[in-house]
Amino acid sequence: MNQVKSEKLIFLRPGFYHSIWGGTKLRTMFGYDEPGDDIGECWGISAHPKHDCEVISGPFAGKLLSELWREHRELFGDSSETVFPILTKIISAQSDLSIQVHPDDDYASDHETGTLGKTECWYILDAEPGSQLVAGHNAKSREELCEMIDGGRWDELIRRIDIAPGDFIQIEPGTVHAICGGVTLLETQENSDITYRIYDYDRLVDGKPRELHLQQAKDVITVPSRDVASMVIHDDPSEDVIKLISCKEYEVYRINCHDNLGVEFDRPFMLMSVVDGSGSIDERPVKKGDHFIVPSGYGLLSLTGEMKIIASCLPG
Ligand code: ZN
């Protein structure tokens, strides 16, 4: 009976991106069979045109997530969103990513054709001691912000924060941000790709610098920055289930299973990624690096084993 139940879980095949800032941890830490020493991103749950995940289990095996969304909306509680709304990635940085900012939905709809803005959040999975992230800036007025950008005063402008595994950071549109080398994290984001790059450490890609978008960045950066305390949550591992964030784009939860845990969410559908350990869900084996969707009406999930899961959904 249980085995039949777990066949309703929609397991997905991730897609990989290679970058100048990538490394090998997605293979060595997560066991993904992906060659190369510049692996940067694993798109675990995505119906984005850049990577549309294929279903690899159950009655819908072989379909793309965007097809399931179009043709079987009942699996998603008949959600009225036009496109599959959330994207889950694991990002592993060997060196620093470029410093960037995303517009909000209003700016994106006025200045970019037919796309959403982007809100994203990060759950830190692994970080070398002393790791930092860029989150926010130090300019007190828009005038000062523009002066610092025009003068290339990046060290003065950007705000670096100390982070450790288990930290969770919400990045609202308008927040200057960057993932720094030595950090591996799970990103939950709106299904959008609009990024304004501010500074790329003067690196060359294929012999030339990557395009910057300074004017758009000056328009959309929030001034002054939100304070760090309002952006960062430290996980409490003693709790089985923690809600990390609820905003208008998504909710994100962290689930820790020790031996046995029953969890049920009162939401039309859930995205889940196993980020540590292994075990089973309703007797189906799962392990670190697996990504799946719990469809509408699934009910109680019976977890066994030792594992950590990051789950997300549309806000209720
Ligand atoms: Zn971003």
Residue 203 is predicted with a pLDDT of: 87
Residue 205 is predicted with a pLDDT of: 84
Residue 128's Cβ-count burial label (10 Å; 0-12, 13-18, 19+) is: exposed
State the catalytic residue, choosing from 27, 159, 197, 284: 197
Q: Where are the domains of the chain?
A: 2-234, 241-313
Amino acid at position 125, single letter: L
Q: What is the side-by-side order of every strand in the sheet holding 183-190?
A: 15-23, 39-45, 86-93, 183-190, 120-127, 167-171, 232-234
Residue 192 is predicted with a pLDDT of: 82
pTM value > 0.75: yes
Quick one: which of 296, 316, 295 has its CA closest to 45? 295
Span from the CA of 100 to the centroid of ligand 1 (angstroms): 7
Residue 144 is predicted with a pLDDT of: 97
CATH superfamily of 241-313: Jelly Rolls (2.60.120.10)
Span from the CA of 94 to the centroid of ligand 1 (angstroms): 17
User: Looking at the DSSP assignment, which residues form a beta bridge with residue 293?
Assistant: 10, 271
**What CATH architecture applies to the domain 2-234?**
Sandwich (2.60)
Residue 191 is predicted with a pLDDT of: 85
Span from the CA of 297 to the centroid of ligand 1 (angstroms): 33
Quick one: which of 305, 255, 254, 310 has its CA closest to 280? 305
Span from the CA of 121 to the centroid of ligand 1 (angstroms): 9
Do 2-234 and 241-313 show the same overall fold?
Answer: yes
Residue 304 is predicted with a pLDDT of: 98
Residue 195 is predicted with a pLDDT of: 92
Span from the CA of 136 to the centroid of ligand 1 (angstroms): 12
Residues near 204 by Cβ (< 8 Å), separated by ≥ 6? none
Task: Using DSSP, state whether 294 is helix, strand or coil.
Answer: strand
Span from the CA of 71 to the centroid of ligand 1 (angstroms): 30
Whether 197 is catalytic is yes
What is the full per-residue pLDDT of the chain (316 aa) written as tens digits? 445 899 999 999 999 999 999 999 999 999 999 999 999 999 999 999 999 999 999 999 999 999 999 999 999 999 999 999 999 999 999 999 999 999 998 898 888 876 778 999 999 999 999 999 999 999 999 999 999 999 999 999 999 999 999 999 999 999 999 999 999 999 999 988 789 999 998 888 889 988 999 999 999 999 999 999 889 999 999 999 999 999 999 999 999 999 999 999 999 999 999 999 999 999 999 999 999 999 999 999 999 999 999 999 999 8
Taken as a whole, the chain contains a residue count of: 316
User: Looking at the DSSP assignment, which residues form a beta bridge with residue 311?
Assistant: 253, 272
